[in-house]
Amino acid sequence: MMNFYLLLIFFCFFSLITLAQGELNPEARVVTTNEHSYLVSLNSNGFSASYQYGKRIDGFRKRTVDIDFSYIKHPKEIRVENPYYQSQKKFVFGKLNTLFAIRSGMGKQKEIFSIFDKGGIAIRYHYSLGATLALLKPVYYEVVDSTKIYNNVQYIYISDKQFDYSIHQISDIYSRSSFFKGINETKFIPGLHLKGGFSFVFSEKYEAINAIEVGAIADVFVKPIQIMANEKKDRLFVTLYVGYRFGKIKVRNKESAKSLIEKDEETD
């Protein structure tokens, strides 16, 4: 998995070198204002979807507000099936809880390399700090209580139970229960997160956002969280991610933005 992320990061930098050599863009330069964008990402421990609002500080910097929803899994999760009931749904043996995280944060974004010609790439970095709310939903299994054979037909009696490492084996698990089983027992655990990363924007139009984004997130919770029965509880969860960001930027043309440009030059 780590090699996958490294290859994607290399691809982004390689694209910067090879694609940034284009003809000059005849489109009039514009000054960006506020922007709205969305990010879908594959993570080292799951996946995420997020929304970001950016408010212009100057021509290169924005204040940002992020809202993020993530599914976080344990690295030891492996999907298996009961060797005696292979036609049933696969399950993660030994999983106690399913972990989701809702994040809300504020931070800054800065453009360190701008697009000046067709086929070019803009590079931005960003960071944010905020609150995280963990949603810890217990996992239930369909456990085989007993079996009987009557008239050469096997009858299997099952019940929904949480995993007990001291008594349950793979052969005891018939299948995984419905995802909604135990949802009313979900626990909420607050925490904090720190997020940072880089965006490689390849949009041909200034008002559009199309970017590959890579970064990292660190979540710290007030109470330790246990996902797998045979693994220790953790307060800290570190996530590496790579994703696609898309959205729109409100822009002003050169004439109407003259005063803003002059202000940016004075700031620089």
Q: Which tens digit of pLDDT belongs to each residue from 155-214?
A: 788 899 999 988 898 888 998 999 999 999 999 999 999 999 999 998 777 778 899 999
What is the CATH classification number for the domain harbouring 132?
Answer: 2.40.160.20
Domain that holds residue 229: 2-19+34-73+99-136+186-267
Mean per-residue pLDDT of the chain = 83
Q: Is residue 119 part of a domain?
A: yes
Q: Is residue 93 part of a domain?
A: no
Q: Is residue 212 part of a domain?
A: yes
* pLDDT reported for residue 120: 73
* pLDDT reported for residue 155: 76
pLDDT at residue 16 above 70? no
Write out pLDDT tens, residues 21-54.
444 344 444 555 789 999 999 999 999 999 999 9
* pLDDT reported for residue 32: 56
Q: Is residue 232 part of a domain?
A: yes
Mean pLDDT computed over 120-131: 92
Q: Is residue 205 part of a domain?
A: yes
Q: Is residue 68 part of a domain?
A: yes
* pLDDT reported for residue 55: 92
Mean pLDDT computed over 66-75: 96
pLDDT at residue 7 above 50? no
Q: Is residue 179 part of a domain?
A: no
* pLDDT reported for residue 114: 79
Number of domains the chain contains: 1
Q: Which of 57-61, 122-126, 252-256 has the highest mean pLDDT?
A: 122-126
Q: Is residue 109 part of a domain?
A: yes
Q: What is the pTM of this model?
A: 0.80
Give the DSSP per-residue string, the chain. Answer: -HHHHHHHHHHHHHHHHHHS--PBP-SPP-EEEEEEEEEEEEETTEEEEEEEEEEESSSSEEEEEEEEEEEE--TT--EE--TT-TTSPPEETTB-EEEEEEEEEEEEEEEEE---BTT--EEEEEEEEEEEEEEEEEPEEEEEEEEEEETTEEEEEEEEEE--TTT--GGGEEEEPPTTTTGGG-EEEEEEEEEEEEEEE--SSTTEEEEEEEEEEEEEEEEEE--BTTS--EEEEEEEEEEEEEEEEEEE-TTTTHHHHHHHHHH-
Q: What is the 3-state secondary structure (H, E, C) of 196-235?
A: EEEEEECCCCCCEEEEEEEEEEEEEEEEEECCECCCCCEE
